[in-house]
Each structure stands twice: as structure tokens, then as C-alpha cells.
């Protein structure tokens, strides 16, 4: 299989400048009802860049005329912030404080309290504990003080110096004084987000912006669009519904791959991941059920099943349907359906677990990865600590053993006499119908000791006393399963645990505890007393003030775009369509393509570590607790970042922009596998027209600034980009080069 691309547009790639920029899509003057959060301001001493600070002990609650704080290891100081408007329940856990010493070492200071000051309620005192964990003999190593800033709802204050000594003026690092304001700043309570936030919303709630979605959001706003999506028919692209086949592909297809075209098509459709990946890509690119698809994809990365084990197309389809069905349902229903999913049973061995040979894989991952996590959590997702400051385990190995008893005896529904086994195919395993107790005596009938938190339902399940026949054994096992799922579902960890994971997948890798707490509260109670309502949770994630706003200034805010979303964001933004270029001379896709991409680019995501539907481990494509190297910032998707993946990602942009699209010519004899019978390309006619109208390149640069960067591109960046694209006078080349450099820049990879 040969990759075909037009070569002449690749001739000056070595002159490319990989810019550092922040991205999103088009800005607009049309109002969308989502409130902007103001950017907070850290207050300095008069005429200095030294932060106004006093020691917390003895502070009288007012604004001092000068700073008197003495900075030492673990000292508690009060600094002052203005231009913030707190929600009624918003407190210290909504804020973070960061510092950097003169060597560039980063410190995360502890925010202990925030309160309005006396007589000036528009100014807040923020109590910080200055802590350097690398302190030596009780002395901090942050000699010369720190440059500190405070972040709130994804926005950051100006930087000021927290130090015991005087500050040189003008400041050697260009910091500016920000003295006590004489009056309250104008309220932002009625200031609403516009086009920049719509672009951010389309990346969070969908697989990227496009003109149709943008227009709909202009018409009805975020909240009504979410409500509309809850009841949108799905999927837009029908499930393939291929028949189930035997485990063995040679038996199922009547021969090995390469035997003849008919056998080869059978292998492709039934035993390869090709069709599942293509379906997912087309749903992401063209589906009308964008929000369900986005949430379902996030749930896939929590409730992991991998096609590396569950390899038949139909097996993975049934697992996907469970995710789709429950994306806007109730988390408790998802727990039961996924527990009895034959795909999950196969992947995590529950299908093989009996009381005679128990297997703890599924119960272990159910607790660790799908529901409560390893350590006890506060309602805002922070860890509970014991008297020595250590995390408190949620369970131990003995407790895993107790839960394992519950999940014994379940197997695939293969009894033709059982009406629940409606989808049996002779000679094939049944991965469609939920698992059942074919042999009820395989279920453990002894007592089980479960979680015993305050108010826990069913902390103990008694031993079966009447398991003398299969009917009673089956009833006992079903009852035990439901009681156990209720016991797990109502654990106080589940709300904040699930809330943080969904925020990480949809919005930002390291949300503030306050944000997690608000989403967890929606999980715990949807406003009508219902726990686990995914509609309420999704709304809480996407409409929170920490998610919304045209721009976010905190450098640690956002998330790296995972490979699938990186591709779809760019494709949707530029009107993805069928490929139209090939060096072989074939420039017209088949009429059956209807002008659309075929969605076959799983080879691209796979090369970047995200083989669609085939995560390498139960921890998904990347672990949820991965920390960006050299920092203390959570960044799960950064686990995929390396030299090879960066090279492959830039090659993708090269094919799509300077190479004019993705197009494959299958070698002779592989007719069953025209992997990309339609190809994939994007529409840059608008950029080309701008390049033709303005030889300076400025129009193209400003268009990309507006369309992809919320209008935040610095003048220095614009200058570099104009210089990079003016090597050629051809308008189309300028447009393609500008898009290539912009899309391949390092910070486009961060969804902000």
C-alpha cells in the first residue's frame, strides 16, 4: 500500500517555523449565553513589583498600607487579589498559587483561605502557606524570593515578587506594579462569551468546530444545544451490524487471508478493526450526535475494553452500543450493563471466574478505574489524609477478595433454551446478549463483606441459605450482584472520581477542586434527588464557569489534544471532504463517496499511540494520573508525546495541507482493501482567496488568528508566520504553508 501525495507542495518544509501558539476557532460578535470570568489581579506595594503581603498571624482583616510579611519555610502570609466575583459556595479550593525562583524552579503554594477585606469587599485576602518540600534544615531554598501568581477558573493574575528584600525598579523581568485600586472594578456579571468561547465549546462538546454547528450555537446557545443533543437520534452513521463469527477467522471465513477476494473481505469486515475505526471516524467527522459521541468516547477511555482482545467487529460494536446507550443515562445502569457485557467479561476475565477458580481482574478494575479509585476522596476530589498526612486507601487486598466472590459464575449466553439468549449463532460465541449464569452453582454462595461507609447500602451480603436448586442459586447471584453494584455506586468517592475523569477528558487535565466539586455535586444529586444522572453531569462539566470563557490565561489550563481529536478538530474546521489528489493522475473519488471522506485514518492515530478502539492496557491509551515530566501538572495525554509521535503528527499535517490530502493506491490484487476509496482532504479555498488578495500574507495570518486562535496571536508570532510564507508568490502555496505551520505548532496540540 503506497501513500500518494502531490510532491511539489512539500519542497520547503525544512524552512518551516514551528510556532508556539494557543488555538481555537472563529471569533464572532454574536452573543452566546455563557458568562465570562474576569482575569484576577494580584496587588503590589505602591510603586513596586513586590507583592503586598502580611503575615497571617495578627492580620486585622483590612488592606495594609505596606507589606510586612516575613517569608520563611511554611510561613503563612496573606496576599491581596481583586477583580474576582465569587459564587456563593466558592472558596479557597477554587484557587491555586504558583511560584518560581530565580533558577526557574516551580513551586505550588498552598491556598488555605480567601475572604473579602474590611470596608473594601472588592479586594480579597488570600492566605498562602509558603512551602518548599526541598527545604534543607528548615530553611527554604528559594533565595531571592519567588515570582508568584494566582489562578482562578483557568485565568491567572499578573506576576509579582514575594520576597523579604527590596525589589529593583524598573523590574529586571519587566514585571509591572499593580497597586491597591481606589474603587471597585466594573462588574462582569452581565458580560457573556462570544465567538471565542463557541470555538472552545465545539472542541469540548464535539469533535471540533464546523460552520453548521457554529450557526446552531448562535441560534440557540450552549444550554439548549446540549438539551437538543440529549434527544438526538443516534448513531448518524449506522452501526455495521455484521454477523457474529467463530473465534477462529480461518473457520469463520472459509480460509486464511489472501485466499481470494471474498475471503479477504470477510476477514476485513469481521475480524479486523477496520470497520469499527472507520465508523468512529465518520461519526466524529459528520455525525449529528456529536455530544453523545464525545461523551461515549470519554466513557470508552474509563470503562476500557480493547480490540486487541475483543477482536471481532460485532463484539466491539455491542460494547460501543452500551457506551452510547448510557452516555446520557444513569451511571448505575452503565455499571450493570458493562458488568454483564460479554466484551468486558472476555477482556477482564469475568467470563472465566467461578467459585472454584475465582479471578479478581474485573472486580479490581471496577473499583480502581471505573468507580471509587485507590484512595478516599473529599467531595471536591482532593485526597483525604490521616493524622500523619498520608492518603487513606479505599480498600485492601482482602476487600478485593470479598468483591471477587460476587462476580463469579457469569458466562456468555449460549443456552438456546434460554429466551435471554436471543442472538445465538451456531458455532460462534455470543457477544451480543448480556452474560448469564449458565451454571448457577459456579457462583460463590458464601457471605460477602463489602464497603461499610456511613449510610452504605448492603455492607454485608449474607450467605445463601436455600441454594438447593438452580432457580434459588440464580436468584441469589442476581440479588448479590445488584446489592453489590448499589454498594459501590453509593460510595462517596464515585461522584468526585467520575467527575474529575470526565472533566479531564472533555475540558482540562487538572481542574480546580472547586470545579470537580461542582460536577460531583451534580452527580450526587441532579436537582431532583437522582444520583448518577449523566445528563446533569455533562451539563455541569460543560457549562461550569471554569470551562467557559473566550480565553484562558493560566498556562497550566487545558489538555493535550489526543490524536483522534487532533485530527478531527482540524478536518472539521476546514470542511473535511473526499480526497481529490493523487500523483497517479486519479483525481476524482468514486461517486459513492458523495464528496465525503471515507474516515479511514486509523493508521495515523495508531502511529501516535491511539489505535482507535484498541488501547494497549486497561489504563486506556494513557494513564489518567500521568504527570507532565519536569512539572507537577497532570497531563494524561502527554504520556503519548515523544519524538516519534511528534514526527508522525507533523507528517499528517504535511499530507493534509502541503500534500493536499490523504490518498492511497492499493497494490494490484488487493481490491478488497481500497483502505481509502474516497481519501480525505480539506477545503482551503477561503485561505487561498485571502492569500491572492493580499500579497503580504497578512490577510491569511489574520484569518488563521481568528479562526484557530481566538484572536490571541501575538505580533511577534504574526511577523514570523508572514516571513515564513512569503518565500513563494503562489497564493495556494502561501495558504497551505501558513496552515501547515500553524496546525503543526506545538501549542495547537493543547485544547484550551
Q: Is the separation of the CB atoms in 270 and 327 below 8 Å?
A: no
pLDDT at residue 242 above 50?
yes
Question: Which range marks the domain in which residue 508 is found?
Answer: 495-543
Considering the domain boundaries, does residue 273 fall inside one?
no
- Lowest average pLDDT, out of 16-20, 59-63, 529-533, 676-680, goes to 16-20
Question: In the predicted model, is pLDDT for residue 487 greater than 70?
Answer: yes
> Over pLDDT 90: what percentage of the chain?
69
Query: What pLDDT, on a 0 to 100 scale, did the predictor assign at position 195?
Result: 81
Using CA atoms, how far apart are residues 132 and 246, in angstroms rounded to an integer? 61
pTM of the model: 0.92
Q: Which of 136-145, 410-419, 464-473, 683-692 has the lowest mean pLDDT?
A: 136-145
Are both 593 and 566 inside the same structural domain? yes
- Are 539 and 565 members of one domain? no
In a domain, 193, yes or no: no
The residue-averaged pLDDT of 538-560 equals: 94
pLDDT band at 674 (very low <50, low <70, confident <90, very high): very low
Domain termination site, one of 543, 574, 599: 543
Same domain as 63, residue 148: yes
Domain count, the chain: 3
The answer on 19 and 119 residing in a single domain is no
The verdict on residue 67 lying in a domain is yes
Assigned domain for 426 exists: no
Per-residue pLDDT band at 25 (split at 50, 70, 90): very low
pLDDT attached to residue 550: 87
Across the range 627-640, mean pLDDT stands at 92
φ/ψ (deg, to 5) at 719: -60, -45
| Model confidence band, residue 587 (pLDDT cutoffs 50, 70, 90) | low
Residues 296-305 have a mean pLDDT of 98
Rounded Cα distance, 334 and 729, in Å: 57
Same domain membership, residue 101 and residue 143: yes
> Do 597 and 693 reside in the same domain of the chain?
yes
Residue-wise pLDDT tens digits, 602-632: 878 998 999 999 999 999 999 999 999 988 8
What value does the mean pLDDT take over residues 446-455? 98
pLDDT at 341 over 80: yes
- When pLDDT is averaged across residues 128-155 and rounded to a whole number, the result is 76
Average pLDDT over the chain reads 89
In a domain, 382, yes or no: no
Write down the pLDDT at residue 260.
87
Return the C-alpha cell found at 358. Answer: 475465582
Asked whether residue 438 is assigned to any structural domain, the reply reads no
pLDDT of residue 673: 53
Which pLDDT does position 752 carry in this prediction? 86
**Is 319 in contact with 337 (CB distance < 8 Å)?**
no
> Per-residue pLDDT for 141 more than 70?
no
- The answer to the question of residue 209 being in a domain is no
- pLDDT tens, position by position, 510-546: 999 999 999 999 999 999 999 999 999 999 999 999 9
The verdict on 603 and 723 lying in the same domain is yes
- From 1, 15, 3, 20, select the one nearest 746 (Cα to Cα): 20
Query: What is the per-residue pLDDT across 488-498, written as a single tens digit (0 to 9) for each?
Result: 999 999 999 99
**Would you tell me how many other CB atoms lie within 10 Å of the CB of residue 476?**
22
Residue 238 or residue 585, greater confidence: 238
How confident is the model at residue 664, as a pLDDT?
55
Could you give the percent of the chain with pLDDT greater than 70? 90
532, 662: one domain: no
Q: In the prediction, which pLDDT does 9 show? A: 37
Res 17 pLDDT > 50: no
Give me the mean pLDDT over the 690-695 stretch.
Answer: 92
Kindly write down the DSSP assignment for every residue of 510-566, as one continuous string. S--HHHHHHHHHHHH--SSS-SSBHHHHHHHHHHSTTT-SS----TT-SEEPPHHHH
Name every residue whose Cβ is closer than 8 Å to that of residue 206 and which is 6 or more positions away in sequence: 213, 290, 291, 294, 572
Q: Can you give the pLDDT at residue 190?
A: 62
Please give the pLDDT value at position 83: 95
Looking at the structure, tell me whether residues 624 and 737 fall in a common domain: yes
* pLDDT confidence bin for 8, thresholds 50/70/90: very low
Look at 259-268, 332-341, 579-588, 733-742 and tell me which has the smallest mean pLDDT. Answer: 579-588
- Clarify whether residues 20 and 141 are in a common domain: no
Residue 536 and residue 645 share a domain:
no
pLDDT confidence band for 14 (50 / 70 / 90): very low
pLDDT band, very low/low/confident/very high, at 134 (cuts 50, 70, 90): low
**Judgement on whether residues 572 and 639 belong to the same structural domain of the protein:** yes
Query: Is the model's pLDDT at 296 over the cut of 90?
Result: yes
Q: Is residue 445 in a domain?
A: no
SS3 320: helix
Domain ends where: 162, 197, 222?
A: 162
Q: Would you state the pLDDT for residue 667?
A: 45
CATH of residue 151? 2.60.40.10
Amino acid at each position: 500500500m503506497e501513500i500518494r501525495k502531490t510532491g511539489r507542495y512539500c519542497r520547503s518544509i525544512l524552512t518551516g517555523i514551528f510556532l508556539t501558539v494557543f488555538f481555537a476557532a472563529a471569533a464572532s460578535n454574536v452573543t452566546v449565553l455563557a458568562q465570562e470570568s474576569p482575569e484576577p489581579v494580584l496587588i503590589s506595594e505602591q510603586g513596586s513589583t513586590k507583592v503586598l503581603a502580611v503575615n497571617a498571624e495578627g492580620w486585622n482583616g483590612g488592606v495594609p498600607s505596606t507589606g510586612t510579611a516575613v517569608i520563611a519555610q511554611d510561613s503563612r502570609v496573606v496576599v491581596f487579589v481583586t477583580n474576582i466575583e465569587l459564587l456563593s459556595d466558592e472558596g479557597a479550593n477554587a484557587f491555586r498559587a504558583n511560584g518560581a525562583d530565580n533558577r526557574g524552579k516551580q513551586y505550588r503554594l498552598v491556598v488555605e483561605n480567601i475572604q473579602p477585606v474590611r470596608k473594601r469587599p472588592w479586594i480579597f485576602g488570600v492566605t498562602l502557606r509558603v512551602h518548599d518540600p526541598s527545604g534543607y534544615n528548615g530553611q527554604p531554598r528559594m533565595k531571592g524570593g519567588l515570582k508568584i501568581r494566582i489562578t482562578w477558573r483557568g485565568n491567572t493574575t499578573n506576576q509579582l515578587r514575594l520576597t523579604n528584600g527590596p525589589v529593583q525598579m524598573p523590574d529586571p523581568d519587566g514585571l509591572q506594579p499593580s497597586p491597591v485600586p481606589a474603587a471597585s472594578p466594573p462588574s462582569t456579571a452581565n458580560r457573556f462569551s462570544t465567538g471565542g468561547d463557541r470555538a472552545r465549546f465545539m472542541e469540548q462538546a464535539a469533535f471540533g468546530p464546523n460552520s453548521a454547528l457554529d450557526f446552531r450555537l448562535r441560534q440557540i446557545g450552549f444550554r439548549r444545544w446540549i438539551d437538543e443533543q440529549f434527544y438526538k437520534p443516534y448513531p448518524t452513521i449506522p452501526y455495521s451490524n455484521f454477523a457474529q463469527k467463530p473465534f477462529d477467522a480461518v473457520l469463520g471465513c472459509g480460509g486464511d487471508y489472501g485466499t481470494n477476494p471474498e475471503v479477504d473481505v470477510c476477514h476485513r469486515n469481521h475480524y479486523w478493526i477496520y470497520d469499527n475505526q472507520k465508523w468512529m471516524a465518520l461519526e466524529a467527522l459528520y455525525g449529528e450526535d456529536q455530544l453523545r459521541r464525545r461523551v461515549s468516547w470519554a466513557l470508552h477511555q474509563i470503562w476500557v475494553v480493547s480490540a486487541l482482545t475483543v477482536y471481532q467487529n460485532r463484539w466491539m460494536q455491542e460494547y460501543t452500543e452500551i457506551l452510547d446507550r448510557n452516555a446520557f443515562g444513569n451511571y448505575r445502569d452503565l455499571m450493570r450493563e458493562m458488568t454483564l457485557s460479554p466484551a468486558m467479561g472476555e477482556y477482564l476475565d469475568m467470563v472465566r471466574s467461578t467459585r472454584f477458580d475465582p479471578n479478581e481482574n474485573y472486580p479490581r478494575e471496577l473499583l480502581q478505574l471505573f468507580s471509587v479509585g485507590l484512595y478516599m476522596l473529599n467531595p471536591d476530589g482532593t485526597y483525604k489524609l490521616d493524622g500523619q498526612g498520608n492518603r487513606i486507601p479505599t480498600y485492601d487486598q482482602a476487600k478485593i477478595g470479598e468483591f471477587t466472590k460476587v462476580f463469579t459464575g457469569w458466562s456468555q449466553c449460549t443456552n438456546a433454551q434460554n429466551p435471554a439468549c436471543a442472538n445465538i449463532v451456531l458455532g460462534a460465541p455470543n457477544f451480543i446478549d448480556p452474560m448469564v449464569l449458565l451454571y448457577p452453582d459456579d457462583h460463590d454462595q458464601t457471605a460477602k463483606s463489602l464497603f461499610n461507609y456511613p449510610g452504605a447500602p448492603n455492607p454485608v451480603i449474607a450467605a445463601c441459605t436455600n441454594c438447593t436448586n438452580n432457580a434459588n442459586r440464580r436468584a441469589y447471584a442476581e440479588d448479590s450482584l445488584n446489592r453489590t453494584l448499589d454498594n459501590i455506586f453509593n460510595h462517596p468517592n464515585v461522584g468526585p472520581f467520575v467527575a474529575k475523569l470526565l472533566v479531564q477528558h472533555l475540558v482540562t487535565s487538572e481542574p480546580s477542586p472547586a470545579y470537580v466539586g461542582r460536577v460531583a455535586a451534580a452527580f450526587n444529586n441532579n436537582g431532583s434527588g437522582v444520583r448518577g444522572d449523566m445528563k446533569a453531569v455533562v451539563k455541569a462539566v460543560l457549562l461550569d464557569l471554569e470551562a467557559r470563557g473566550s480565553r484562558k490565561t493560566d498556562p497550566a489550563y487545558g489538555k493535550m489534544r489526543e490524536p483522534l481529536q487532533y485530527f478531527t478538530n482540524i478536518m472539521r474546521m476546514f470542511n473535511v471532504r473526499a480526497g481529490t489528489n493523487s500523483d497517479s493522475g486519479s483525481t476524482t473519488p468514486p461517486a459513492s463517496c458523495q464528496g465525503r471522506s471515507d474516515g479511514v485514518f486509523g493508521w495515523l492515530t495508531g502511529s501516535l499511540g491511539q489505535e482507535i478502539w484498541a488501547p494497549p492496557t486497561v489504563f486506556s491509551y494513557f494513564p489518567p494520573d500521568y504527570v507532565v515530566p519536569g512539572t507537577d501538572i497532570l497531563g494524561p495525554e502527554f504520556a503519548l508525546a515523544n519524538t516519534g509521535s511528534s514526527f508522525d503528527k507533523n507528517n499528517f499535517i504535511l499530507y493534509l495541507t502541503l500534500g493536499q490530502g490523504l490518498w492511497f493506491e492499493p497494490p494490484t490484487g488487493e481490491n478488497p482493501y481500497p483502505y481509502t476509496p474516497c481519501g480525505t482532504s480539506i477545503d482551503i479555498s477561503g485561505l487561498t482567496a485571502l492569500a491572492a488578495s493580499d500579497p503580504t500574507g497578512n490577510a491569511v495570518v489574520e484569518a488563521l488568528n481568528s479562526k484557530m486562535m481566538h484572536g490571541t496571536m501575538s505580533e511577534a508570532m504574526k511577523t514570523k508566520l508572514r516571513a515564513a510564507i512569503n518565500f513563494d508568490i503562489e497564493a495556494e502555496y502561501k495558504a497551505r504553508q501558513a496552515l501547515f505551520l500553524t496546525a503543526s505548532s506545538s501549542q495547537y496540540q493543547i485544547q484550551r
